[in-house]
Structure formats: structure tokens, C-alpha cells
Chain A
Amino acid sequence: MSKKRMMGLFGDFEEAHDAIADIRRNEVPGLTVDAVTMTSPIEHPEVEEVLGDRPVHLQKFTLFGAIFGVVFGFIFLAAAQASFLVQPQGGKPVIALPSNIVLIYEMLIFFAVWLTFFAFIFLSGLLKKRSTLYSEKVSLDQVAIIVEVDENIGESVKGLFQKHKVLEIREEAIR
């Protein structure tokens, strides 16, 4: 069966929230909240009550970046200092741990921050081609619900959106 993507634009968050809550209550058979995306001009953490728990894995990349920074920092600095062996050190250790701790601390933060940023781009689905269903009104003051549905339940979804005072409905076929 062919599928399509539908977007309903709502004037305020409460209406959009209630529409998603109805989807969660299975008011449209065949449509679950997993197929729902909400786009909004500001962050609405409250939507997680109805959209369900969608975990964020960003912090794992941060941890990995931090650990990488420590390990790489130590190896890099120690390797650099080891190449000093040919130079007189005046009785000081070749690999100087106290000063390396300061530098490793900086490298921990450097790699943690950069890896978090790249993970953010990847996990947020940024740099992807935007769907034609995007509405510029979302960057102003409206909230959109985007759902992926089978063709045959399109009318039920429209009915649900209209029940919650949708301002505009747009559709596109999924190829």
C-alpha cells in the first residue's frame, strides 16, 4: 500500500499536544505515536508526555570524546616528550606528568566538546535534505504535526486534525 506524509499546522501548542494525545489513545486505527514528529518554534519538553520516551544518546559521545581526549592527550604529549631524549633535561623527567595533566585536561574538554557537536549534527538529523512539508510558519509561531500514514487512513487523520482546530493541512507522497 502506498504511504504519504501529512502535516497539520496548529495555532498553539495545546491543540497540537491534544491531537498527539488522541493519536496515542489510538483514535486513528493504524497510526501510532512512533510515526509522529512535532515541529515547533520553541522547545516543548511537555510533549514527551504524549510522544513517549525517545531517548537521547548524545552524552555517550561526549563521554567517548572525553576519554579519547585523555588517552590521546597523554600519548601525544608523552610521544612528543620522548623525542626529547636527545636533549639534556637537567635532571627533570622526560615525561613531565604535572604539566601534562594541565594539557590533558584541555584536550579532554576539546575532544568532548567537538565530538558532542558532531554527534549532535548526526543524531538530530541535521544536514539532511528538508522535506517539502516544512512550513516557515513553524519558525514564527505555529506548531506542526507530521505523520507518516497509509493512504487509506489519510481521511481519519484529517478528521483528527480538524477536531483540534488545525489551521492548514499539507500532504506529500512518500516515494
Chain B
Amino acid sequence: MTMVTEKDINEQIAWAKINTDVLKSMENPRPAYWITLAVCIAMVACAALAEYIQYTVGMGPANLNNPHMWDMYIAAFVFWIGMSHSGTLLSAILHLIHADWRKPIYRFAEAMTTFSLMTAGLFPIIHLGRVWNMYWVLPYVSDRGIWPNFRSPLVWDAFAISTYLSASMLFLFVGMIPDLAICRDNTTGWRKRLYTILSLGWIGSDQQWRNFRKIYLLMACFLIPLAVSVHSIVSADFAMSIMPGWHITTFPPYFVAGALYSGCAAIITLFVLLRYFFRFEEYMTLPLMEKTAKLTFAIAMVWTYLNLIEFASVWYGHDIYNKELLIAKATGPYAWIFWTMLFCGSVLPFTLAFKNLRRHMPTMFVVSLFLNLGMFFERWMIVAPTLSMSHEPHQWDVMYGSIVEWAIVFGSFGWFGMLFLIFVKVFPSVSMYEVKEMVFHRKQSLGEEDLARMTDHAKPVTQTTGGEGT
């Protein structure tokens, strides 16, 4: 009895159909696409209004004051930086280990990275209050002889995030060049002009493919340590202080695991949405969702373990401030956020262990949203309780954020959604040439298997040609 494995992708799919399906998706999405885009724009409008109030009145409406000099904005900043991690990092890792199932889904994941970083980058600026002075963070010498403090992790952040943003955008762009050439050859009007410029004259020559293979490999090799360094440095914003709850050795891996986790959850959310909006059932298949869900589950368990390690080291460390803070997190005014975080982050992922649930798109969509709610609460639990219950008891208070803060954070989701939805409408969200490669290699290996089977049975051999997808 032979076991039948469900295929990631149908290897009989014609290459012309791949081009047609993906190009059509850019022209003709479902109405739900437009509704979602409109909702995102409305959310951005809310945030713009809130920022206008904050800009004209000052930081008062944001409730930023001692001891809460960091608050919702920094929690949102960490959340969005975290969200950016799975796309490029997972794409690079899966590329290096030759996991070809990444091919139909990596493009939108990488785009997610870029737009998450662009969203995250807004928060330090908004948080400054005096946004017009944001250029002070750039390393240049001013007429007063002042340079940024290079010993501060906040300056490291500026370096790391700008490097990560530019490298991720390049990685996304380079991976898209052959597809942009396909778009150039199959569109008219403004799209043709745009793709002609962006495809840089790609013709798919053997010389270009050889260099392409090399650059993709090299960039993947650089992006993995870069992505790890970025979130480690973000964790250093906290861990290099001596505040209780922040001065923790495991913070860098904890942040990286949390980043991968929220990124994977976001990939599931966007997977479900794109599959529906653009009718991508043939490319974003159930086996691919299963693999993504399994990966998310594994990362969720790593995150859970790191949480437990942190709790254990605080509990047995007998540092009175840290221990009291941990108890306050679990039993104090933030307890409902703490327990919701643990439920969403550590218990809910067990739904991903069930095959039937992994294959049910509405369930996966809802679960992924809750996973990310848990991850947002995680960031909230990192920032707020420490500031609420620090060394000075006379400063203790509770902070849930003002309406202006919530509006801006809410709007950041709209901003991300808007950028992402515009991207998938203008650029192919499924990599056409890589899906073709996937189909080609699957077909070839099928041909070889058939050949081997026939030889085993001593039958006349008729080798399949593989062909170029016709």
C-alpha cells in the first residue's frame, strides 16, 4: 500500500495559466479587496487626525509623562519591528535550505517586512513630539558640535533598522525583477511604462540568471544575521537599562522569537486574505497553509519556553524589584493583559496542532488575529508595567493609553494594510517565475520517479520530457 501525499502545487498547471492568473489578480480582485482598502484608508484618516491634535496641542493628549515616558507608541514600534521579521528572515532561511514550498508565498511575506518596517519607523518620530527635529538622530555633525550618542542603543536602532529596511527592500526588489519583466511583456499603458523601468531590461539570459542566483544567495546570507541583530538591538533598548523587568539576559532571543512568531501569524492572516481576494486557491494551497501553521506552532513553543525561562530566572533570582514586578504583572491591574497574552501566545497555538483546523481558512484567519493580539499584548506587557511599577513607589500608577495614542496605533494597522493592499494590486504577489520553477522541478522529479518505477517493473521505458510548461 502506498501513501498518497497531497501536493503543494499541481505540477500539471500550464505556465501560461500561471502568468494569466497572477496578472489577472492585479487587475480584477474581489469587491472585498476594495472594501478592505477603504477601511484601511479610514483608519489612516483617524490616525492623521489624532496626530494633528498631538502636533498642534503637544504631547499632553498622548499622556506621555513621568514615569510613562515610553508608552503605547514604543509598544507599537516593537510590535511592528517584530512583525517585519518573518517575511524576509523566513524567506532567506527557507531559500538557503532549499525549501521550495516558500516560492508561492514568499513575495507577499517579504512585502509585509518592508511595510511593517515603514510602519514601525513612524512611531519613534511620532513619539518624539517635536517631529520636526527627527533628523537629529541621523549621524551628522551639527553647527553646535553635537553628534548622536553612539553608546545609546537608540542610535544603534537607527542604524540597524535603516540597514534592515534598505536590505529588505533590495531583497524584495531583486527577487521581483524576472516577474517585473513578465509584467512588462504582458501589460499596456502606465503599467507597461512602470514595469519597463523597474525590470531594468531583464531578458532572462543565462548570464543574468547566473548572477541572479548568486545575488539572491548572497543577500539571503546577509539578511539572516541582519534580521537577528535588528531585533536584538531593539531588545537592547530595554535590556541595557537597569529597570526591573527589562534588565534581562534572555531578552534578545525572546524578542527574536516573539518577532518570528508575530510575523508568522501575520503571514497566515495575509495568506488567507490574498487567497480569497485574488482567487489564489491553486497557488496558496492547503498543504502550504499547513506547513506555515506548523512552523508557527513550533515558534510559538519556543516563545512559550523563553517566557517560562524568564519567569523562572526572575522567580529564583530573588531580585526583589523584578520578583514584585512579575507578581504584579500576574495579579495587578495589568493581569488581564498578562493572562490574555499567555492564553493567545501559548495556549491558542495548540489549535494549530489539529490538521482539520489547519486546513480551515476562516479558523486560521481568526486564530492568526488572536495570535497577533497576544503578541501586541506581549509588547504592552514589556513596556507599561515596568514604567508603572518601577523602583520609586511614589511614582506607581496604571497606564492604558489615551484616545489619541489608541487612534494612532489603530491607524498604523490601516497604514500597513493600505500600503500592503496597494502593493499587491500593483506588483505580483505570487512569484510567477518561481512557481514555474517549482512546477518544472516537480514535473521532472515525477518523470524520474515514473522512469524508476517502470525500470523496476522491466517495462518499456518512455521518458517524460518535462517540457517548459506547455
A interface residue numbers (CB < 8 A to B)? 11-14, 37-45, 47-48, 51, 54, 56, 58-59, 62, 76-77, 80-81, 83-84, 86-87, 92, 96, 99-100, 102-103, 105-107, 109-110, 112-114, 116-117, 120-121, 123-131, 134, 136, 138-143, 146
Contacts and interface: CB of A to CB of B under 8 A. Distances in A.
Interface in B264-316: none
Contacts of B159: 102-103, 106-107
A58 B151 CA distance: 35
Nearest to B470: A141
B467 A83 contact: no
A11 B218 contact: no
A116 B215 contact: yes
B365 interface: no
Interface in B165-214: 166-167, 170, 174, 181-182, 184-186, 200-214
A-B residue pairs, 4 tightest by C-beta: A136-B185, A141-B15, A126-B200, A43-B209
Nearest to A126: B200
A38 B206 CA distance: 5
A99 B201 contact: no
B213 A129 contact: no
Contacts of B84: none
6 contacts: A43-B437, A80-B147, A103-B150, A109-B225, A117-B170, A121-B200
A87 B141 CA distance: 14
B211 A56 contact: yes
Interface in B436-450: 436-437, 440
A120 B174 contact: yes
B325 to A, nearest CB: 28
Contacts, number: 178
Q: Which residue, of A47, A48, A106, has the highest number of chain B Cβ atoms within 10 A? A: A106
Q: How large is the interface on B (under 10, 10 to 19, 20 to 34, 35 or more residues)?
A: 35 or more
B209 A40 contact: yes
A107 B155 CA distance: 13
B222 interface: yes
A102 B470 contact: no
A43 B212 contact: yes
B77 interface: no
Contacts of A123: 207, 211
B166 A114 contact: yes
B469 A141 contact: yes
A34 B281 CA distance: 44
Majority DSSP secondary structure for residues of A touching B: helix
B145 interface: yes
Contacts of B436: 41-42, 141
B440 to A, nearest CB: 6
A18 B15 CA distance: 22
Contacts of A76: 139
B468 interface: yes
Contacts of A99: 150-151, 156
Nearest to A105: B229
A103 B150 CA distance: 8
Contact of B465 (A14, A43, A136, A143): A14
Contacts of A143: 468
Interface string B118-144: 000000000000000000000101000
A100 B208 contact: no
A113 B466 contact: no
Given A59-B218, A124-B211, 20 more contacts: A12-B467, A41-B182, A41-B468, A42-B434, A42-B436, A54-B207, A56-B211, A56-B214, A59-B214, A83-B145, A99-B156, A106-B160, A110-B167, A112-B218, A112-B222, A116-B215, A116-B219, A136-B186, A138-B204, A141-B469
Contacts of A107: 159, 163
Contact of B213 (A43, A109, A140): A43
B457 to A, nearest CB: 25
Interface in B35-91: none
Given A11-B467, A107-B159, A116-B219, A130 B201 contact: yes
Given A140-B15, A140-B16, A125 B208 contact: yes
B226 interface: yes
A1 to B, nearest CB: 25
Given A83-B141, A121-B200, A138-B204, A58 B167 contact: no
Contacts of B141: 80, 83
Interface string B424-444: 000000000110110010000
Contacts of B466: 12-14
B163 A109 contact: yes
A160 to B, nearest CB: 18
Nearest to A131: B203
B19 interface: yes
